[in-house]
Structure 1
Amino acid sequence: MASLTTTGRNQRRLFNLLQPEAASRQALSSQETSAHQSVKMQTRNLFLAASQLAIGLAAPASMPGFPAHRLSTRETHFNASLPNITIFATGGTIAGSASSNAQTTGYQAGALGVDILIDAVPELWNVSNVKGVQVANVDSGSITPEILLNLTRLVQEALDDPYCQGAVVTHGTDTTEESAFFLDLTVKSEKPVVVVGAMRPATAISADGPINLLEAVTLAGNPDAKGRGTMIVLNDRIGSAFYTTKTHSNSLDTFKAVEQGYLGFFLDIKPIFYYPAVLPYGRVYFNVSEATELPEVDILFGHQALQPALATAAVEAGAKGLVLAGMGAGGWTTPGRDTLKKLAEEHDTQIVVSSRTMGGFVEDDDALNTYGGWNLNPQKSRIMLQLALYAGYTSEQLETLFKFAYY
């Protein structure tokens, strides 16, 4: 209880430092409010700078493709008996800040650096030697292929180090499943990779980020977590990146694998698995170590009276592939089917048909020259197709890629 109380005090101190006094805020005029916000940002910057000096941070190294956050790396305590875990921070709600501790919407995602996240959970040092790396600090909707390529290279480099036992990636939950799936297909290691986020910002009452981060780091350092691929951790749940998806916009218990189930759960911070280590059918590896960009792949959502011109417009705008979130088992409108066949035949557009439902399978449609996404949802089908196009897969290879595990 003492350690948890300490964490609570740390969070309250952090909140008080970052937020203006309520009474002062109400008394300010519109002109004064602008000035106050400027002072607030200056105070926050001084606080961050003081934190850097206090713990002896090195100057951040520049990351290719985007500016490095001023809190780039951090490594302090060391205990030879504990596993060495690297935390790669990308922003999101887990690093979010709001104007009120009761505010859980409309906050600024990616407001806090990786060192602040680590300092808010001193219990991390009881389970691991932590090194923090700030890869980006954005909301997850702003994650780009360039950020993903840089992230996967950094994670691979860390795991190739024999002294590193695992990697944790902090990430916004809106697109966690996409980045986690990307890492699952592009990182080659038996060591654990764990993607973690939060549904409440760091400044909220009962923020879930600290406990999620502690569980993720504990999992990454657990020998039983090896050989399971990339995992997603939130709300005491352990899910496979291959199957786990976000199912609720607000609930803490949002990440689920509806048909496949969880890999395990946490009890007193300890991970408990339901099964021995095993990888999903259909999981493949793509080497993107030399990639600087990825082919454009767009998703079209199926619905009644869908305008097929949207598919044509996407291809004309540069899309090399399309993923269709079809109705039911991949159904599409009759005019839309004619357009898809034309795009596949005349533009060599590679088209994968998935489903807008939460489960089930979608098969190939030879009449349209489209590939079934099988049990991958549209967003994960997009990642798979994007990587396959980068790797130069032929039509025959694409067909095998999406269904070889089921026949």
Structure 2
Amino acid sequence: MKKLFLFWFLLIISISLFAQTLPRIKILATGGTIAGQGASADRSAYTSGALPIKDLIAAVPGIDKLAIISGEQISNVGSQDMSVAIWIKLNQRINEIYKNNEADGVVITHGTDTQEETAYFLSLTVRYDKPVVLTGSMRPATAISADGPKNLYDAVALAASKEAANSGVLLVFSESIFSGREAVKTSTTHVEAFTAPNSGPIGQIYDGKVVMYQSPIRKANKNTPFDITGLTSLPEVAIVELYADAPPTAINAYVAAGVKGIVTGGLGNGNLNKANTAAVAAAVKRGVPVVRASRIYSGRVTLLDETDDEKLGTIVSDDLIPQKARILLMLGLTQTRDKKQLQEYFFMY
């Protein structure tokens, strides 16, 4: 009896010591396809955000061997309904988690429609250099060969690794690791849905092992100038995409509606046709900052090329796609309306 007691005592102590060595990972769930349910396993139609976080965690074999897992439901929406309000809530919760030492790493489950935007927003506003990793899936949890469990396993492995520290906000998908700034969704249906057109992946996860190829340079984290503590909203910024013979209707309407800034998804090197150049000039004259981005998702929009930005009064997005340029302009406008300072943000972040 004494030997049996000693055996169980030592086993409990060993398990306790093992558990203490595992990192603590907090999973913040927002909904999306990864939490989706369909009518049958062979149909693509599904309802986003139908499963709670506890069910997502339970569906991943071996995840408890990577870390001590806990979960919270921040929202439960398809990411087409992601909002600034949810972004602010996420940012506040992540900063709170690290301030109070509640976890060693944070994983966010998120729909893919706007995942690249949330990743960039958090990369500019989270005030800690500890791991923040986003992931999701292209197939709902009820589908044949659902990709969500593997992506979530990899995201936890990354957040639990020493390589994730000081790397900024990361996005992991289909075994590739991307900087939150650089990740772009480039497929509507394929499981390899994300790429980073200007830089490529910065690492890979295979069999739960993290290998980093490079470290992101353009990141903010604890040194971010964008302190949104106490804010419940951000300045409204609109995006206008251009095309052949595009009229200035959208720009004029947004200015009339009182938006605080405009990003143009221009042609080629962010170019504007004559009608929209005139509309942009009028917007700038009325005090509305305008950022020239491009509808092309790789390459840079350069200063003083085909467009005389000094004369027109515009800002260039550098290599940010329009939806990410919008985020930086919204955050920039919480700090300044000075055109030179706003332009500097685009070259820094």
Same topology, TM > 0.5:
yes
Where does the alignment leave 5 or more consecutive residues of structure 1 unmatched?
A: 1-77
- C-alpha change, 1:323 and 1:200, in structure 2 (3 Å) is same
Whether the 8 Å contact between 1:94 and 1:198 is mirrored in structure 2 is yes
Whether the 8 Å contact between 1:86 and 1:133 is mirrored in structure 2 is yes
Match of 1:265 in 2: 204
Return the match for 2:292 from 353, 357, 364.
Answer: 353
Whether the 8 Å contact between 1:111 and 1:137 is mirrored in structure 2 is yes
Match of 2:14 in 1: none
Instruction: Name the amino acid aligned to 1:279.
Output: I
Match of 2:322 in 1: 378
- Pair 1:320-2:260 in alignment: yes
1:400: how far off? 1.6
SS in 2 for 1:366: helix
Whether the 8 Å contact between 2:35 and 2:141 is mirrored in structure 1 is yes
Q: How does 1:148-297 map to 2 (within 5 A)?
A: 148-162=87-101, 164-275=103-214, 277-280=215-218, 284-297=224-237
Match of 1:82 in 2: 22
Looking at structure 2, the residues matched to 203 and 278 of structure 1 have their Cα atoms a distance apart, in angstroms, of 35
Looking at structure 1, the residues matched to 259 and 134 of structure 2 have their Cα atoms a distance apart, in angstroms, of 28
Whether the 8 Å contact between 1:159 and 1:167 is mirrored in structure 2 is no
1:358: how far off? 2.0
Match of 1:302 in 2: 242
Q: What is the number of residues matched between the two proteins? A: 325
Whether the 8 Å contact between 1:148 and 1:179 is mirrored in structure 2 is yes
TM-score using structure 1 length: 0.77
Match of 1:392 in 2: 336
Looking at structure 1, the residues matched to 274 and 168 of structure 2 have their Cα atoms a distance apart, in angstroms, of 40
Whether the 8 Å contact between 1:282 and 1:402 is mirrored in structure 2 is no
SS in 2 for 1:353: strand
Where does the alignment leave 5 or more consecutive residues of structure 2 unmatched?
A: 1-17, 304-308
Whether the 8 Å contact between 2:181 and 2:219 is mirrored in structure 1 is no
1:213-233 deviation line (CA, Å, top 9, x unaligned): 011011101012111100001
- C-alpha change, 1:227 and 1:295, in structure 2 (3 Å) is same
Match of 2:65 in 1: 126
Instruction: Name the amino acid aligned to 2:247.
Output: Q
Q: How does 1:40-51 map to 2 (within 5 A)?
A: none
Match of 1:32 in 2: none
Whether the 8 Å contact between 2:293 and 2:325 is mirrored in structure 1 is yes
Looking at structure 2, the residues matched to 332 and 279 of structure 1 have their Cα atoms a distance apart, in angstroms, of 31
1:384: how far off? 0.2
Q: How does 1:3-82 map to 2 (within 5 A)?
A: 79-82=19-22
Looking at structure 2, the residues matched to 243 and 220 of structure 1 have their Cα atoms a distance apart, in angstroms, of 18
TM-score using structure 2 length: 0.90
> Relative contact order: is structure 1 or structure 2 higher (C-alpha 8 Å, sep ≥ 6)?
2
Whether the 8 Å contact between 1:188 and 1:285 is mirrored in structure 2 is no
- Pair 1:366-2:304 in alignment: no
Identity among equivalent pairs (%): 38
Match of 2:278 in 1: 338
Match of 1:26 in 2: none
SS in 1 for 2:163: helix
Q: Structure 1: which 4+ aligned runs deviate by more than 3 Å?
A: 281-285
Whether the 8 Å contact between 1:299 and 1:322 is mirrored in structure 2 is yes
1:144: how far off? 1.0
Looking at structure 1, the residues matched to 34 and 70 of structure 2 have their Cα atoms a distance apart, in angstroms, of 17
